[in-house]
Amino acid sequence: MKFSPALEREFHRFYLSERRSHVRSFNLIMFLLAAGACVLVSLSPAPIRDTATSWRLGGIALAFGTLVWVTRGRHYERIYLRTAQVASLWIAAVAAVEVANRVAVGEREMLALLTTYSIALYFLAGILYQAALQANIVLVVAFAATLVALRQPVATDIRLVGILAAVAAIGGLGFRNQGASFRRVFLEHGLISELAARDGLTGLSNRRGFDTHLVRIWQHALRDRKPIAIMLIDIDHFKLFNDQHGHQAGDSALRRIAAVVNAVPRRALDLAARYGGDEMTVLLYDVVREDAAKLSNDLREAVQALSFTNADGRVLNVISVSIGVAIVHPSLTRSPAGAVQLADEALYAAKRGGRNRVEVYETEYASLTTGSFRVR
């Protein structure tokens, strides 16, 4: 089960977030074991001290120490998978060489350490299936190549390599199933979150979904130095429409207007939402003033062209909308709340100017007072 690039990145964040404590504990334990073994070998009497083993264990300890540092840093979700993929290949190769050397001098019980690490690569290291499989292939190949280089009996080589390969294969099958389960859980979690962020009447995102998404695209725009547009859409004289024709007609009108609003966002980072009551909003990423103005006017005209009838088939009042648009270039001195305020000011100007019109604000941001909203 493979997702689109954007959804795959979301899955990676979810996967790493869910497994962070286990991954941190595993890497810390392995670091302590490798470092402790390295110290013991280094402190051994000169006749039995093995410099090559010390270097190999030191290299393994360094790799695990790096992973421990990454799991405790603020960039964990961004760099762990890449770092762990490289580190796991290094550790697998060096550990296989070390164990093969031990086996060659009669310490065959050391193979148990290698098989244990093979399983841990799948279930404890916090890497994805493909990376774990690659590390296991390196583990088996490096182990077999070292045994051959050390001129071990062929029958012994085949038996030991076969055991290690069988463990790696069985672990891979089990982890593949677990990985598929993780992806299903991710989709279910996303579906539940999506439903929780939906408005029950219009099907648009609700205010909670809008607030969350605004922060997300603000961060994207700040990083990429792109502008965003916020369209605040208010139905003109909607209370009067409700009073004259009833709430069922009002709800029907809201749903139909919401369908028009929902057709505006066409890209992954764009969003349409019900802001509250008879107000709706559209968030647009990386859009210039001219395009935002055209989209807003097209939306206004599409709503005005809608026809509404009551249960008897009688044509009701034509409904129009006023739209305030804020074009904002996110920076460290600006905030998402200020961007919404600018759109609110633009909407106030549209309604003050006669309704059924669009007002676009951009440079007016500098004149805002944070936290100040006009009362319409």
Residue among 115, 102, 84, 120 nearest 12 (CA)? 84
Region class of 19: left (phi > 0), else alpha (psi between -120 and 50), else beta:
alpha
Specify whether the CB–CB gap between 138 and 89 falls below 8 A: yes
Secondary structure class of 324 (helix, strand, coil) = strand
Homologous superfamily of domain range 207-367 = Reverse transcriptase/Diguanylate cyclase domain (3.30.70.270)
- The helix-helix angle for 336-352 and 207-224 (nearest 10°) equals 110
Q: What does the pLDDT read at residue 318?
A: 77
Strand partners, 233: 280, 323
Q: Can you give the residue ranges of every domain in the chain?
A: 5-195, 207-367
Residue among 265, 122, 256 nearest 202 (CA)? 256
Q: What does the pLDDT read at residue 373?
A: 44
Q: What does the pLDDT read at residue 198?
A: 80
Q: What does the pLDDT read at residue 45?
A: 73
> How confident is the prediction along the chain (376 residues), in pLDDT tens digits per residue?
677 787 788 888 888 888 889 999 999 999 999 999 999 888 877 554 578 899 999 999 999 999 999 999 888 988 999 999 999 999 999 999 999 999 988 888 999 999 999 999 999 999 999 999 999 999 999 999 999 999 888 888 899 999 999 999 999 998 988 888 888 887 777 666 665 668 888 889 889 889 989 998 999 899 889 999 999 999 998 888 888 888 888 888 899 999 999 999 988 889 999 998 899 999 999 999 999 999 999 999 999 998 877 666 666 667 899 999 999 999 888 889 989 999 999 999 999 999 999 999 987 766 665 554 444 4
Provide the token pair at 135. Answer: 């590390």
Q: What does the pLDDT read at residue 374?
A: 45
Specify whether the CB–CB gap between 319 and 253 falls below 8 A: yes
Dihedral, 154, 155, 157, 163 alpha carbons, nearest 10: 160
